[in-house]
Structure formats: structure tokens, C-alpha cells
Structure 1
Amino acid sequence: MADTVLIVDDDQSVLTMLYKVVKSNGIDAHTASSGEEALELLAHEAYDCILLDVNMHGMDGFAVVQSIRRRGLKTPIIIVSGRKEDYDTLYGLDIGADDYVTKPFNPITLGAKVKALIRRSRDNLPGANALITAGPFQYNTSTLRFYKNGVEIPLSSKENAMMKLFIDNVNRIFSKDMLYDLIWGEAIIDENAIMVYVNRLRQKIEEDPSSPKYIQTVRGLGYRFVV
């Protein structure tokens, strides 16, 4: 059964764009054009993730988040908003949202965030399998430890975050900009940092780092993890 995302926005053009982003990632989607409509849908159906605008007529997105959490629902929520002030981001996260994405957004990056958040939410459920396996690699989401052929490979925090992103998205191409956004967020780093960390990972996981088998460079596009 496919995952299902609830998309909430009173701008029809944005609603359509978000719907296409979700569907392009193999995820089903339902839409609501107001906070009130979203809460009505949530009263009758369970969703794996919610994409939610803040500025809407009637009940705004922050009020929707608070209502959802008061109901005891732990559904992952990503706020997708044109409001870029730090206060709004911190407030949204403080009242219960899991992530805050500002418009305009990169559709591929947003799709990756949705998939990763659904996966992380499912891993945290009681009895869920904490191990992600891809080829000879395993990633334990409970201990944040990474293994190849059963042997642990120590990783720095940023290497760990990059490897988790790759193993969550086998065969998916990530541009440098996407990796910056997903791993470093708003931090300002040297433009060669991505290449440095990719090379470090290759040194640790490849049989021949000079001819990588697993972390491949896709010329002109970025990097892809293949098993």
C-alpha cells in the first residue's frame, strides 16, 4: 500500500505543484484548500505526512499544527511557507512541525525530504525495523551506525548524514545544491565541501576509491548512490 500525503494550501497553483511533486515520488496525495478542510480529512483518515502552508484564509497553518498535535496525532508535518523570518521557522518547529521549507522550493529536494521524513517516522514506531539495508551496506537508524558486510565503518556527523541520505535514496541523483540544502541547511560552507565529503566516504566504503562503484559521479548533475 502506497504512502499518502495530505497537502494543505489555499493557492491552487501551489497545491497543484505540490501534488505533482508528491506523485512524482511514487506517493499518493490528497489535497485540502483550507485548514478546516484538512482537519476534517484528518478526523476520518490517517496520513503518512502533511505538507502545510502557513498563510491561509480562515485558520492559518500554525493553528492547524497546534490542533493536530492537541489531538495526539504524531503525523510528520512539513510547513511549506513563503514566510522566511527565523521567528516563523522556530515557532513552527516549536509547536510541533517536523520541518520548515520556504518558497520557492526545489521540488526534488522537497520530495527527498518527504520520503526521508516518512521513513524516519516509520522507523520510530514500536517494532519497526531499525535497519536499512542496501547491497552490502546496513544503516541502523536507532544507533546511527553504518556497516559494510557486517563491519562497522565509523563516520563523522556530516558523513553520517550524507550516507543516511544516500542509503535512503538508492539510485537517486543529488546535485551539489540539494546536498548543501539537505545536510548543511542554511549554513555557509566552502563550495568544495561536498566534493571533500564525497571523497571521504569513497575512501571508507569503496574497494577502489579512484574508480568508485557505489558513490558515482553523474557528470553535470551530481552524485548517485548505487548498489
Structure 2
Amino acid sequence: MPDKILIVDDDPAVCKLLEKVMHSNNLETTVADSGLAALNHLKNHSYDLILLDVMLGDMEGFEVIKRLRSQGIQTPVMIVSGRNEDYDSLYGLSLGADDYITKPFRPLVLGAKVKALIRRNKSQILNSSDTLESGPFTFSVSSMRFYKNGEEIVLSSKESSLMLLFIRHPNQVFTKDMIYEHVWGDNIAVDDNAIMVYINRLRGKIEEDRQKPAHIVTVRGLGYRFIP
């Protein structure tokens, strides 16, 4: 599958140019024309890189970086801006951006930079000493990022805790009480349906068919088992 790029710019002409450059490099694109639209995309979808303008209609690109980093989203960000002051590039990098390129840009250079940044980021994740691998699944504990077949799957905090429990103990049967203790804490009252809700959410994200799960299976009368 092609790597996915989120383009965040409120200028339709620039978006079309960026899409053309990305497509010429066999990259898949999604366009957001505002900071809020970008943040909404990132709540429900994962991307391999974000191309972000500084000047947006509703907020500065710097604010977008602040918000996504505060939410634990570590997707690489390349700022593509018409502002070429040193302060802007240094400020963006200090907030968590990974690169800064100014407009007008050379398409060949931009394409090469994007692919190099994606490649470097994936290499760092997969080679991290805290990376757990089980079957097609990879979990980076320090960044709390989860992948299937190299493709990132965005998980909520509770989904991440549940998936981390499973991937650390493949093929082990976990009762509801065990899951309560590990994910919620044994001193917290949790509705009996809560675990089923989160199990179904995880199945919807990692299974080919959530109605016929192959990875998170129900063990009747006992609980659940993760089969990588």
C-alpha cells in the first residue's frame, strides 16, 4: 500500500500542486483546508507524514503542531511555508516539526525530502529497542504507536492499553477480571459491557472481518485470547 500524506493548506492551487508532486512519487494524499479539519482527520485516520502550511484561515500551523503533539500524535510534520524567516523554521522545529521547506519549492527536492523523512521515521520505529512485534503487528511502547503490516492504526488510550496487554502475552487467555485489573485498575468499577465495547472497537481496526475475528478471539466462558 502507498504511504499516506495529509496536506494541510487553505490555498487550492498549492494543494493541487502538492498532490501532483506526491502522486508522482506514488504517495496517497488527503487534503485538509484548515487546521481544525486537519485535527479532525488525525483523530480518525493515520498518516505517514503531514505537509503543513503556517498561514491557515482558522489557526496557525504552529498551533496545529502544538495540539497534535499534546495529543500524543507523533506523525512526522514537514512545514511547507511561504514564510522564510529563520525564526519561523526554528520555532516550528522546536514545537515538534521534523523539517521546514519554503515556497516556492522544487518538486523533485520536495518529493525526495518527503520520502526520506518517511523512510527514516519508519526505520526508527521498527528498530526501536522498545518495539514489540507479534505476527503482522508492531507496537512502539515509548511512542504508543501501533502498526499492522507496517501500516499505522490509530488507537485511543484504552485501546492502546488493551492492545499492549494482548501483544505482550500472545495466545494467553485473559478473563474480564484480569483485563479490568490491567487496563482500568482493580480499584475502578467498570460496566460489564465496557470490555466488550473496546474489544469490538479493536476488532474493527485490526480484523479483516470483525464478525469472524482471527486475532482477538472469544474463549467461551473464560474471556479473550490474542492470536497474532
- Would the TM-score normalized by the shorter structure come out above 0.5? yes
Structure 1: distance between partners of 2:119 and 2:126 = 14
The residue aligned with 1:147 is none
The aligned residue for residue 142 of structure 1 is none
- Secondary structure in 1 aligned to 2:44? coil
CA deviation vs aligned residue, 1:141-160 (integer Å, no higher than 9, x gap): xxxxxxxxxxxxxxxxxxxx
Distance in structure 2 (CA, Å) of the matches to 1:40 and 1:66 = 14
| Aligned equivalent of 2:53 | 53
Instruction: Tell me how far 1:2 sits from its aligned partner.
Output: 1.2
Bigger Rg, structure 1 or 2: 2
In structure 2, the residue matched to 1:206 is none
List aligned pairs for 1:1-227, cutoff 5 A. 1-127=1-127
The normalised TM-score by structure 2 is 0.55
d(CA) in 2 for partners of 1:126 and 1:50?
20
SS of corresponding position for 2:125 = coil
CA distance in 2: counterparts of 1:20 and 1:125, whole angstroms: 28
% same residue:
54
**Structure 2, gaps ≥5 residues long:** 129-228
Give the aligned partner of residue 139 of structure 2.
none
Tell me, in whole angstroms, the C-alpha distance in 1 between the residues paired with 2:95 and 2:82.
Answer: 18
1:107, 1:8 → 2: CA distance? Answer: 17
Distance in 2 separating the partners of 1:14 and 1:111: 15
Give the TM-score normalised by the residue count of structure 1.
0.55
C-alpha distance in 2 between matches for 1:117 and 1:96: 14
Cα distance in 2 for residues equivalent to 1:52 and 1:108: 18
Aligned residues: 128
Instruction: Give the Cα separation in 1 of the matches to 2:68 and 2:23.
Output: 24
Give the Cα–Cα distance (whole angstroms) in 2 for the partners of residues 107 and 66 of structure 1.
Answer: 27
Which secondary structure does the structure 2 equivalent of 1:124 belong to? helix
Residue in structure 1 matched with residue 209 of structure 2 by the alignment: none
Runs of 4+ in 1 over 3 A off after TM superposition: none
Tell me what 1:191 maps to.
none
How far has the Cα of 1:126 moved from its partner? Answer: 3.7
Amino acid at match of 1:54: V
Unaligned runs of 5+ in 1: 129-227
